[in-house]
Structure 1
Amino acid sequence: MITFENVYKYYDDTAVVEDFSLTINEGEFFVLIGPSGSGKTTTLKMINQLIDLSKGSISIEGKKISDYNLQELRWNIGYVLQQIALFPNMTVEENILIVPEMKKWEKDKMHDRVTELLERVDMDPETYRDRQVSDLSGGQQQRIGVVRALAADPAIILMDEPFSALDPITKNSLQEDVTRLQKELKKTIVFVTHDMQEAINLGDRICVMNEGQIEQVGTAEEILKHPANDFVKEFLRTGLPHYKEEKTIQDVLNKDYVFEKSETSQADLDSEASLDDLTIALSKHPQVTVSSKESGSRLLLTREHLVRYYAEELETEKAGVGNG
């Protein structure tokens, strides 16, 4: 639905987004994550032309964004900011109806839309419809910000770190609300965050960015189990205190706990399979044949190899704790 093709954004001679190419699917909750200065917010804002790209193209449903009428483009893309940006001198209903008013919806339709959306975020319409937004809590205001973005029924919602200023309990509650709304309303959401746990909680797919470039795109499970490079591994370790990189059979092979294959075994595994897979296989068979992608050879692992590997890991871990 949203396609980036070799997109660049320069400020003077500095590329803040560089050779960015990917497709965000219709109805997908897609998360852009990375450290400060990685280009994620710039990438988001190029979708609705709040920032103009320097080179390449962005298309929505096969049509380049440069070919859309700018007002039409922005009316059909909801936008939620960290700075809630509600109008404090207006009521909840008036804030929600800004775009439907511009699109000249009928009054009955607008009234019903406010009722529907407030109910979807568990805010009683008769209690909150006519309340001044300045009287609301931070979490309630951000709910209105989300509802306002949905009011004119856009196909795409852009969300730029919308929950980062909220306390953890309110943040978790809003994450649940947005996830539920996205599934119910089948919207395409592009969500920027610097919080890896939030990305995991929300995203169908996650794009890890660094210095304007894509480091890895995948599901949370794919990124956690198979980080693409050292940057992604370090980003996970920094962002997830309890993160431990999943060990694979290749880690055992790297310790030289292996025989050159000289006899057959009843189980075959790839060197990229997890140690859990190896443990299960060795619980059923005394030895396992492993196809090593690094050397191209077929090798033999035994239960003794696995026990020796785990013992060395435990000794290393204990030594590290003792030195700490």
Structure 2
Amino acid sequence: MNKEHIQNLLHKYEQGICTGEETVALQQWLDVLAERGGDYAFAAEEKQQVKSKLLTSVLKRGNRRGGNVLLIRMRQAMAAAAVITAAAVAWWWFQHPRLIKVAADNEVVRMVLPDNSVVWLNKHSAIAYNNGFTQHRYVQLHQGEAFFEVKKDTAHPFLIQSGEVTTTVKGTSFSVTKDYYNNGIKVSVLTGRVAVSTGKDTMAILTPGWRVKYVPGVSTHVEDAIQPAEVNGWVQGETVLQRASVMEVASWLHTHFNVTVNNSSKKYTGNYYLSFKKGITLPEALRIINLVSSGQHAHFSLHNNEVTID
């Protein structure tokens, strides 16, 4: 099939109007790619369009057949054997509907995944995984924060996708955070080793006590050392933010208190060290933030359940 025909089929599949014959043709195309082990014969922008169409079809169609594309190439020895072709994973997602799990508004939720790995979801957080999870351990973090205690299985790497960032492990404990306001991704490690990548490029191999922060559109990422409480303190109700930007703080306020945060002052990017105990109220949290910000020319104010930074 040529590119135009493939794009047309993907568009029809997204709309749910593919005939049975067309669906088989699309699946056969994916099978050929999976067997060949190659990438798309598309330009980078077109590849992204294919990914977006497949993802959109899954989200729109719920439990009907849908797909998602994953292309991960790890260049470090740790992940050299864990290359997954886009076509193979797309085919898997065609065949296995996704299951969505969302944390309740005002509580942290503990879940046991089908492979006996444990995931803790922070408030207002959501993940998705397939019902053939033990053979294809792939999770998407759609929003918020999750802490994973991964059951070791060397034959089946555990992958977490959040935006442009893929995290690959085999048995470890770590957290992944997706900031609400800038779509920044933060991966923090408590035990074991974690490979973090964007597309084909390995961004970092993290060990205990280290994290990486990545913001889409920013050319560089940041690796730094952290306290254990930064990784999963929130599971017990304690929040620790180390060297956090203004938008990271804003995202935490939104997630924790379900408030809108408007940053009317773009001048100060922030470098916050904050610690909040369980049960803290929004006014109390803002007082602490403003105390820390007093020399930074940034002020957080609350009006009608909306926080303004000026």
- Quickly name the TM-score band, shorter chain normalised: under 0.3
Q: Which of the pair has more CA radius of gyration?
A: 1
Point out the structure with the larger strand share.
2
Superposition TM-score, scaled by structure 2 size: 0.25
Higher helix share: 1
**Normalised by the size of structure 1, how large is the TM-score?**
0.24
